[in-house]
Amino acid sequence: MMCQRRSVIAALFGGAVMFCQVQSVLAGCGPDPASCKVPSGDYELALPTNAGHSDDMGAVPAVVFLHGHGSAGATVMRNRSLVDGVLARGYAVIAPTALPRWQGKRSWNFLPGRAGRDEVLFLREVVTDAADRAGIDPERVLLAGFSAGAFMVNYLACAHPEDFAAYAPVAGGFWDPLPSSCAGPVRLFHTHGWADTVVPLEGRFLNGGTFRQGDVFAGLALWRRVNGCASDAPAGQGVSGQWSWRRWSCGASADLVFSLVPQGHVIPKDWPTQALDWFEATGD
């Protein structure tokens, strides 16, 4: 596989990373193509053209991307800037689908103690199936998600930090009350829009005050405690294009980055570059 060096945020994260020039190809799990099925549900799969070929990287790394409230894995696959950006780096895209919950709309069962599908079990089934079916490397999987999917990312990272190599929530954190603690340190890249009014940085009440999205900065403070950061002050901060970032470096398995973009409740079009540059730079 032919690759070429990029330095979009290499200086930021302390090393050159590789950008792989590969065309993308969608790969379902049957005719049409069809969704992939595991005992607990369905997921969509897209593979880069290098998948299935032996090279220096061996098995294929992947991004598991969880959709937002009311959406589906198939909708994630129609986000071409997201999917093409990930595939072009030589990563597979895995897009699981949530089950209907509130008012019949699909969403993730992320709040602890709530009745519904065991999402941790479901995502484990998805990764295992993708590894068997398509040669995905289960040791190099980034769990990411948008909005409700980002809530799920945070709660899974908190309860089961060992399940994925790293975590990348977009426009979502914890809900109140925040967890008092988490099971262990994580590598986490949180992206949020400065102008987000759906999941505001300071949080907001929902359903007539029954639930409250948590303050994003309080969530970051929790992650700093969980990661054992020596200080609340970031080890580095700066601006890269439209991205304003802060980084807390608290150990090899406890890297924490918070990035703000001057947008609303969206997935930034260049998110794949930023997130995967970080993932690769801190993946050793």
pLDDT for res 198 = 97
pLDDT for res 252 = 76
User: Alpha-carbon distance 36 to 144, whole Å?
Assistant: 19
How many domains does the structure of the chain reveal?
1
Intervals of the chain under pLDDT 70: 1-28, 30-33, 50-58, 282-284
Q: Cis peptide before 48, with omega less than 30 degrees from 0? A: no
| CATH number for the domain harbouring residue 54 | 3.40.50.1820
What does DSSP assign to residue 46? E
pLDDT for res 209 = 78
> Are the C-beta atoms of residues 66 and 96 closer than 8 Å to each other?
yes
Range of the domain at 105: 3-281
Q: What is the pLDDT of residues 145-159, one digit of tens each?
A: 999 999 999 999 999
Q: What tokens appear for 171 in the block?
A: 């426009």
The model carries a pTM of: 0.89
What does DSSP assign to residue 134? H
User: Alpha-carbon distance 126 to 37, whole Å?
Assistant: 8
